[in-house]
Amino acid sequence: MAAQALKPDRLIVLDNCSTDGTAKIVQEFQGIKCEYIRNPKNLGLFGNCNRALEFAPEAKYLLLLCADDLITPKFFEVMTATLDDCDGLGLAYCLDERIDENDKRLSVSGKVTGDASVIPTDVFIARKAEIANQAFSGSLMKTNFQKSPVEFRLYMPILADVAFWADWGKHCKKILQVNLPLCKYRWHGDNTTNTVMPGIQTLVLDEWKVMQMNEQLRNGNSSFIRKFKLKGLFAVRTGIKAKRVRQQNNLTYSREIVKEGKRISGPLAWLMGQAVVEARDLVVYGLMRRPKHPKNVYS
């Protein structure tokens, strides 16, 4: 934040009952003025995000930056410029560079072209139904001093952000994707997506639920082809998880994931999905030799 070319007017650190040196670091930091607020009790990740949303009426732009992620120095300068002409609620999100615990690059989330693409609302929500990539910490909301019309669903410990962005997008007058890696998303073994991973509900069933919820936000009814596409994408995503869990020698859980994935997608979509998983792994991690984090079941 202190390195931003366009510095934020206000920086608030919401300490969700940490047990480390957060308070001391914030209070002694000289690079930029910080407001420090400690929650009286741990609200959970998305409960803390809802606490942060309470500041929306006090801000023209609002960024929720997770503690382990980074934004590059040009983030605010570039991102606010894309939403400058939006006279209501808006959203701009950038590409993200995935890094590990030691700042080693794992991948970039898309093609770096340097431009900004306007995304129609229905197209954006369709992408959210497909759980297309959108870095949480790389998503800038234009709140325009208005109360947030939506909140994070606390009953979804992993997928609440995917549902939230679809809900938020439904209220936006302008949505853009900035094709620059202005955010660094850190993957490590203690990510929430890994620590709550063992529950079949949070890992698999919630994913299908949020895909269906987001699809229902779109205009019109889904065609047969569209429904089959979503089942196919779900089969691919679930197949990746089953394979990664199997590679971690948890065979029983892997079989459970396969059983639930096949039940929801159906045998044809499942078979096609697993062919994609194997071909993708061969190309991405074999021929292209992209590094992957050993604990990332979403890779």
pLDDT digits (tens, 9 = 90+) for 44-100: 999 999 999 999 999 999 999 998 899 999 999 999 999 999 999 999 999 999 998
CATH number at residue 134: 3.90.550.10
d(CA 75, CA 56): 19
Arithmetic mean of pLDDT over the chain: 92
181 and 228 belong to one structural domain: no
d(CA 176, CA 93): 6
Provide the whole-model pTM.
0.91
Q: Residue 102: is its pLDDT beyond 80?
A: yes
**Does a structural domain hold residue 200?**
no
H or E, element range at 5:
none
Q: Residue 189: is its pLDDT beyond 80?
A: no
Contacts of 49 (CB under 8 A, 6+ apart): 64, 152, 160, 161, 164
178 and 226 belong to one structural domain: no
81 and 173 belong to one structural domain: yes
Residue with tokens 């990746």: 240
Q: Residue 191: is its pLDDT beyond 60?
A: no
d(CA 131, CA 78): 25
**Does a structural domain hold residue 212?**
no
Q: Which of 196, 185, 170, 159 shows the shortest CA–CA distance to 71?
A: 185
What pLDDT does 197 receive?
Answer: 58
Q: What is the mean pLDDT of residues 156-177?
A: 96
80 and 159 belong to one structural domain: yes
What pLDDT does 100 receive?
Answer: 86
- Burial (CB count <10 Å: 0-12, 13-18, 19+), residue 163: buried
- Enter the tokens of residue 147: 């109360």
* Residue with more model confidence, 221 or 103: 103
Q: In the listed set 186, 210, 238, which residue is the last one of a domain according to the structure?
A: 186
122 and 174 belong to one structural domain: yes
225 and 278 belong to one structural domain: yes
61 and 167 belong to one structural domain: yes
- Burial (CB count <10 Å: 0-12, 13-18, 19+), residue 233: buried
Percent of the chain with pLDDT over 70: 94
**Does a structural domain hold residue 124?**
yes
* Residue with more model confidence, 198 or 62: 62
Cβ atoms 140, 171 nearer than 8 A: no
pLDDT digits (tens, 9 = 90+) for 217-259: 997 678 999 999 999 999 999 999 999 889 888 899 999 999 9
What pLDDT does 293 receive?
Answer: 67
d(CA 108, CA 291): 12
Residue 252, domain extent: 221-287
d(CA 222, CA 76): 37
What pLDDT does 101 receive?
Answer: 85
Q: Is residue 34 very low, low, confident or very high in pLDDT (cuts 50, 70, 90)? A: very high
156 and 270 belong to one structural domain: no
67 and 172 belong to one structural domain: yes
Furthest C-alpha separation in the chain: 59
**Does a structural domain hold residue 7?**
no
Convert 138-148 to b/e letters by CB count within 10 Å (16 or more is b).
bbbbbbbeeeb
Q: Is residue 185 very low, low, confident or very high in pLDDT (cuts 50, 70, 90)? A: very high
What pLDDT does 187 receive?
Answer: 81
Q: In the listed set 136, 160, 186, which residue is the last one of a domain according to the structure?
A: 186
Q: Residue 280: is its pLDDT beyond 90?
A: no
- Enter the tokens of residue 28: 């002694």
What pLDDT does 287 receive?
Answer: 84
Number of domains in the chain: 2
Helices (H), 130-223: 160-170, 192-195, 200, 206-216
**Does a structural domain hold residue 81?**
yes
**Does a structural domain hold residue 18?**
no
**Does a structural domain hold residue 67?**
yes
**Does a structural domain hold residue 20?**
no
Q: Is residue 294 very low, low, confident or very high in pLDDT (cuts 50, 70, 90)? A: low
Q: Residue 194: is its pLDDT beyond 70?
A: no
